[in-house]
């Protein structure tokens, strides 16, 4: 246990939700809504958690779990656990050191950190901390600026590029609209030329300034041809983030990507989209081992990580909980979140009869159709069966 973890444990932080409550107490209301909110009526935001809660692990017994090894390999890089940080923009909204504090926590925890296009520090500043870093790319209207960002990421030492494919524009996020959300003057999109993101600082009642800025910057024309061009232009492993349909996953694999992130953007893009964990098994089956598959959206515990591994993912991305830790205690708070997640994952794996992440693929998962928290005399279960390629529903 690190000193940071010990400090937070003694303060009563025993679940990631404890960090959420602490962050809510210190963040301005509009920033809290920006972090927590989803799009539309937030149906998909809620569905992400409900879907995780419906899944049940069938533990194995009489397995020697005395020698636990939590480390794994993600996109060719060693990671202390099957977790990387999700790309999150504008982290200075929740702490003055923002991404610099968060990447320090990731480096100490031994997991990859994903630098966002909308990061409030540059990729060069963030990679200087020394962590394994991936670079997330939003496709820009200025195509050459997109490729230039990838070149900067390569030169800075990033070990992978992650193209987000589910944001032709930012969805209507009602909390931000009601708040007339705007970035503070000291928070900028550091990868944009000075003043280029000025729209994100201009207050317009009933509008999100960030949505207005990104609508002007992001290209809704992103296509398979662009993905193939990006594949040709970078030597780094390439992931696509935001895939939910098995047909898209299969085509991405055929296009030569190295990884797919099954994601609905944390419920922040299309409201009413399928929960990411519900889409995972079919995507794994469609990919059929041709590339890695990671899971994003709704991960809130080590048990959630185990469920994703059992359904075929090689790892997960962690988003909002990292911000909760950052808001609560800077780098130490973010590290405490990651340490707690690692402890929970070790507990979940061991109690399920697994001595490490790779063993999770042998587990069976059942889906409780009645949902978490409901009572009854019988349960209608949908059973998942395992294969080396992951889980397939039947």
Helix extents (H) in the chain: 3-10, 16-26, 29-36, 43-54, 98-109, 123-127, 143-156, 174-179, 209-217, 224-233, 246-254, 276-287, 302-310, 320-351
Between CA 310 and CA 321, with CA 315 as vertex, the angle to 5 degrees is 110
* Residue 391: predicted pLDDT: 39
Q: Summarize the confidence of residues 93-100 as an average pLDDT.
A: 98
The pLDDT value recorded for residue 373 is: 43
According to the per-residue pLDDT averaged within each range, which of 321-325, 374-378, 384-388 is highest? 321-325
Kindly report, residue by residue over 167-222, the tens digit of the pLDDT. 999 999 999 999 999 999 999 999 998 876 678 888 889 999 999 999 999 999 99
Longest dimension (CA), the chain: 63
Signed CA dihedral, 272, 277, 278, 282: sign only = positive
Question: pLDDT tens across 233-286, in order?
Answer: 999 999 999 999 999 999 999 999 999 999 999 999 999 999 999 999 999 999
Position 375 pLDDT exceeds 60: no
Catalytic hit among 265, 379, 381, 388: 265
Q: Going from the N-terminus, what domains does the chain have, and what CATH number goes with each?
A: 3-25+51-238+293-393 (3.20.20.70)
* Average pLDDT score, the chain: 93
Contacts (Cβ under 8 Å, ≥6 apart) of 347: 302
If residue 391 lies in a helix (H) or strand (E), which one and from where to where?
Answer: strand 390-393
Known catalytic residue at 95: no
pLDDT score, position 351? 98
For residue 108 the two structure tokens come to 């100490």
pTM for the whole thing?
0.93
DSSP 277-321: HHHHHHHHHHHTTSSEEEE-S---SHHHHHHHHHTT-SEEEE-HH
What pLDDT shows up at residue 194?
Answer: 81
């Amino acid at each position: 246990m690190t000193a940071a973890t010990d400090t937070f444990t003694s303060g009563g932080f025993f679940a990631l939700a404890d960090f959420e409550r602490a962050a809510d107490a210190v963040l301005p209301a509009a920033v809290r809504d920006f972090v927590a909110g989803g799009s539309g009526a937030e149906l998909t935001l809620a569905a992400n958690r409900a879907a995780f809660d419906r899944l049940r692990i069938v533990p194995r017994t009489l397995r020697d779990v005395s020698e636990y090894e939590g480390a794994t390999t993600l996109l060719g890089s060693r990671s202390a656990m099957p977790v990387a940080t999700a790309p999150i923009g504008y982290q200075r909204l929740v702490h003055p050191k923002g991404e610099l504090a968060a990447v320090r926590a990731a480096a100490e925890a031994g997991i990859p950190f994903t630098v966002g296009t909308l990061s409030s520090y540059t990729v060069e500043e963030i990679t200087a901390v020394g962590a394994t870093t991936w670079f997330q790319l939003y496709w820009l209207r200025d195509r050459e600026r997109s490729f230039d960002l990838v070149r900067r990421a390569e030169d800075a030492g990033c070990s992978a590029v992650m193209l987000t494919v589910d944001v032709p524009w930012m969805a209507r996020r009602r909390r931000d609209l009601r708040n007339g959300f705007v970035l503070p003057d000291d928070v900028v999109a550091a990868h944009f030329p000075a003043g280029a993101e000025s729209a994100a600082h201009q207050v317009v009642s009933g509008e999100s300034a960030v949505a207005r800025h990104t609508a002007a910057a992001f290209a809704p024309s992103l296509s398979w041809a662009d993905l193939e061009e990006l594949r040709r232009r970078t030597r780094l492993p390439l992931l696509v983030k935001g895939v939910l349909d098995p047909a898209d996953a299969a085509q991405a694999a055929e296009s030569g990507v190295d990884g797919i992130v099954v994601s609905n953007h944390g419920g922040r893009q299309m409201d009413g989209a399928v929960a990411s964990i519900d889409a995972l098994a079919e995507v794994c089956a469609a990919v059929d081992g041709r590339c890695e598959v990671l899971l994003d959206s709704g991960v809130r515990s080590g048990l959630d990580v185990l469920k994703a591994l059992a359904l075929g993912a090689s790892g997960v991305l962690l988003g909002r909980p990292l911000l909760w830790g950052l808001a609560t205690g800077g780098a130490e708070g973010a590290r405490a979140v990651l340490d707690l997640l690692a402890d929970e994952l070790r507990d979940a794996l061991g109690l399920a009869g697994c001595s490490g992440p790779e063993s999770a693929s042998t587990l069976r998962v059942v889906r409780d159709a009645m949902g978490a928290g409901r009572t009854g005399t019988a349960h209608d279960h949908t059973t998942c069966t395992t294969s080396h390629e992951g889980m397939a529903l039947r």
